[in-house]
Amino acid sequence: MDKNLDELFRIFLSIKKAEGKADSTIAQYKQNYRYFTDYLDKCDIERNFAELNKTIFRNYISFMREDMVKFANHAYKTDRERTVGLSPSTINTRMKTLRTIFRCLYEEEITDSNPIQGVKNIPNPLENIDILTSDELTKLLKVPNRKSFAGYRDLTLTHLLLDGMMRISEAINLKINNFDLKNNSVTIPASIAKSRKTRTLPLQPVTVRMIKRLIEINEDFNSGYVFLTNYGERISRDHYRKRLNDYAKQAKITKNIHPHLLRHTAATLFLEDGGDIRHLQLLLGHADLRMVLRYTHPSKKSLEEQSTKHSVINRVSDKLSRPRKTKI
């Protein structure tokens, strides 16, 4: 089939937009498609559907594993962070987009075959995620300068991410009218929620007071959004991520800090404090309980405490510790 890939991708996007996919999902489709076509251009492979086969996709996977430079064009990354070879999760995410594209085109009968069908993901061993401790969170929250606009904004955003356990993409797109300051809650509209479902989250009074104060500070900008830059524009996730990394360094935290780690940390500590996993599921906005388990890895300290409390040895230790008669 002799069809231009860029034209096919435009058709795919129109289908997904009609299905109501979130802007962030559409942006991810565009980004991952661009990575693939950049590879095709690098290899002098024509952007034509007829050129595609399993070998090309598998070679693309090998290229990402062995040759692609991580964060190659990222403005905020150091040379030390620009290592060769992408992680299995990143590679599989990029391939997931390609599978979605070509499966959609085939199912819609726009193409007569699915060239990526049968190409498998690479193994992605699950690693324990090193969440932040309560002491590290306290240190982190002490760093931003509350007397500066940017510092107070960052502190408020960090509080909201921890308190509401929301995604950074959801938080930075919140508008003033999404907050119910009288009833201490915030509503994530379906239009910005990854799940495409509206959910309302309770907030602690301290977070609400900070939000209220930030809204007052922002009045000069005449913007409907809450989290703005010094110039009155909506803050980007990369902007906040860079500043969060700077705060972590100042707090002498050596862990890899990023916005999603705040969500993961808050969810894990919620469970460790006795929170109910079903309630956590609603707060995180996941339809599938299995998705919640991906965010909640008990800390070593928590495992030690649970083992000490519930070990079967506790039931028999008294008998084992009694003096035993060994002589007549």
Tokens of 5: 């890939």
Tokens of 161: 């991410």
Tokens of 283: 């707060």
Please report, as a single letter, which amino acid is at residue 93.
T
- Quick check: do 5-107 and 134-298 share a fold? no
Domain boundaries, the chain: 5-107, 134-298
pLDDT tens for the 328 residues of the chain, in order: 669 999 999 999 999 999 988 888 899 999 999 999 999 999 999 999 999 999 999 999 999 998 887 655 555 555 555 567 888 888 999 999 999 999 999 999 999 999 999 999 988 765 566 789 999 999 999 999 999 999 999 999 999 999 999 999 999 999 999 999 999 999 999 888 888 889 999 999 999 999 999 999 999 999 999 999 999 999 999 999 999 999 999 999 999 899 999 999 998 888 888 888 888 888 888 877 777 776 666 656 666 777 777 777 666 666 555 555 566 6
Dihedral sign computed on CA atoms, order 266, 267, 273, 275: positive
Residues 57 and 98: beta-carbon distance below 8 Å: yes
pLDDT of residue 123: 86
pLDDT of residue 144: 97
Q: With respect to CATH, is domain 134-298 assigned 1.10.443.10?
A: yes
Residue 274 falls in which region: left (phi positive, over 0), alpha (psi -120 to 50) or beta: left
Residues 229 and 239: beta-carbon distance below 8 Å: yes
199 forms beta bridges with 188
Classify domain 5-107 by CATH architecture: Orthogonal Bundle (1.10)
Task: Identify the burial level of 187 via C-beta atoms within 10 angstroms of its C-beta, where 0-12 means exposed, 13-18 middle and 19 or more buried.
Answer: middle
Give the separation between CA 245 and CA 258, rounded to whole angstroms. 7
pLDDT of residue 328: 62
- Three-state DSSP state, 112: coil
